[in-house]
Amino acid sequence: MTTRSQQHRREQAAVARERLLDAAEVRFGRDGYRATSLRDVAEACGISVGALYLHLSGKEELLRAVIDRRSVVLLARIASFAEEDGPGIDRLTGLAHAEIEFYRHHPDFGRIIGRLFPAGQSLVPQLSADLAEGYRGVLHLQAEIIRQGQRDGTIRAGDPVSLARLLVAMVGAYRADESERGESAAAGEGLSDTIFIDMVRRAFAAV
């Protein structure tokens, strides 16, 4: 009975933590890290600030937990394309589309990352360093897909890391354009996913 009760408490704590991270992701994404207080997050989650401290030690740890939760999933998704079989160019364009869809499903996470990278060291120095390390990990995985595509003859010649940076920039620009236009944009404005992915294919395909 005790074991079952302990398991139930752990499950309740896990659910409460997810609700807390959901609320924090929205507030950090929409209002920014500096402008968001722990009280704001607690109120959005329907708990007291004291209850929040049962899960996390403070605002910096909360921000890190929000980022880690999504980053682990995103990195695993990127890694899966490096491990798949098939032409490199198909996996590279598939990866680009998967990243777009990921950030589309988690827009506030995308806003958090967008705010932290330009603001950099002045916000949370250690977290900024960890984000930079994560970025290098993404580049490494994307560069590996490019190397594989160069070996199978489907991706153009060139330094794989430089080409990976170009892909990151292209996807980032496409996401930024979509974010600026927002849901209220008129039909036909901007680029469709189909057109953008075709641009990626043309940019990276062997010639």
Q: Is residue 176 situated within a structural domain?
A: yes
Q: Give a yes or no: residue 180 inside a domain.
A: yes
47: DSSP letter? S
- Which tokens in the block code for residue 46? 């329907």
Tell me the residue ranges of DSSP E strands in the chain. none
Q: DSSP 3-state assignment of 205?
A: strand
The residue range of the domain holding 65 is 59-204
Are 16 and 55 in contact, with CB atoms under 8 Å apart?
yes
Angle at 204 between CA 146 and CA 181, to 5 degrees: 110
What's 182's domain CATH number? 1.10.357.10
CA distances from 94 to 23, 45, 51, 100 (A): 31, 36, 42, 10
Its sign, for the CA torsion 104, 109, 112, 113, is negative
pLDDT in tens, the chain (207 residues): 467 777 767 777 788 889 999 999 999 999 998 899 999 999 998 888 888 888 888 898 999 999 999 999 999 999 999 999 999 999 999 999 999 999 999 999 999 988 876 654 455 666 777 777 888 889 999 999 999 999 999 999 999 999 999 999 999 999 988 888 775 555 567 789 999 999 999 999 998
Query: Is 47 inside any structural domain?
Result: no
pLDDT at position 184: 53
pTM score: 0.84
In a domain, 94, yes or no: yes
**Cα 101 versus chain centre, distance:** 10
According to the model, what pLDDT value does residue 121 have? 45
Q: Does residue 190 lie in a domain region?
A: yes
Of 44, 2, 179, which is closest to residue 104 (Cα–Cα)?
A: 179
Whether 38 maps to a domain, the answer reads no
Give the separation between CA 50 and CA 43, rounded to whole angstroms: 11
Number of compact structural domains in the chain: 1
Residue 162 in any domain: the answer is: yes
Greatest Cα-to-Cα distance within the chain, rounded to the nearest angstrom:
67
92 within a domain of the structure (yes/no): yes
